[in-house]
Amino acid sequence: MRIMIKGGVWKNTEDEILKAAVMKYGKNQWARISSLLVRKSAKQCKARWYEWLDPSIKR
């Protein structure tokens, strides 16, 4: 039995999927969004959005 550990470095394709999913499902459906990303949890998706991808972040 293999144990799958979620995580790892975010890939560009995963970022694009996350962006599209947030636009489609909104910022409250993290479990649904994470189901589209095999290697990421809902908590990881939410953190990635709010810490890195959210367009309202001032850089």
- From the list 52, 51, 31, the residue with the least C-alpha distance to 42 is 31
Q: How many domains does the chain have?
A: 1
- From the list 48, 27, 26, 52, the residue with the least C-alpha distance to 37 is 48
What is the CATH number for 17? 1.10.10
pLDDT (tens digit, 9 = 90+) per residue, 6-31?
Answer: 678 899 999 999 999 999 999 999 99
Q: Could you tell me the pTM of the whole model?
A: 0.84
pLDDT at 3 over 60: no
Q: Residue 37: which domain range?
A: 12-53
| pLDDT at residue 7, as a whole number | 76
pLDDT at 45 over 90: yes
Q: Indicate whether 25 belongs to any domain.
A: yes
pLDDT > 70 in the chain, percent: 90
Instruction: Tell me the mean pLDDT in the region 36-59.
Output: 91
Q: Are 41 and 18 in contact (CB under 8 A)?
A: no
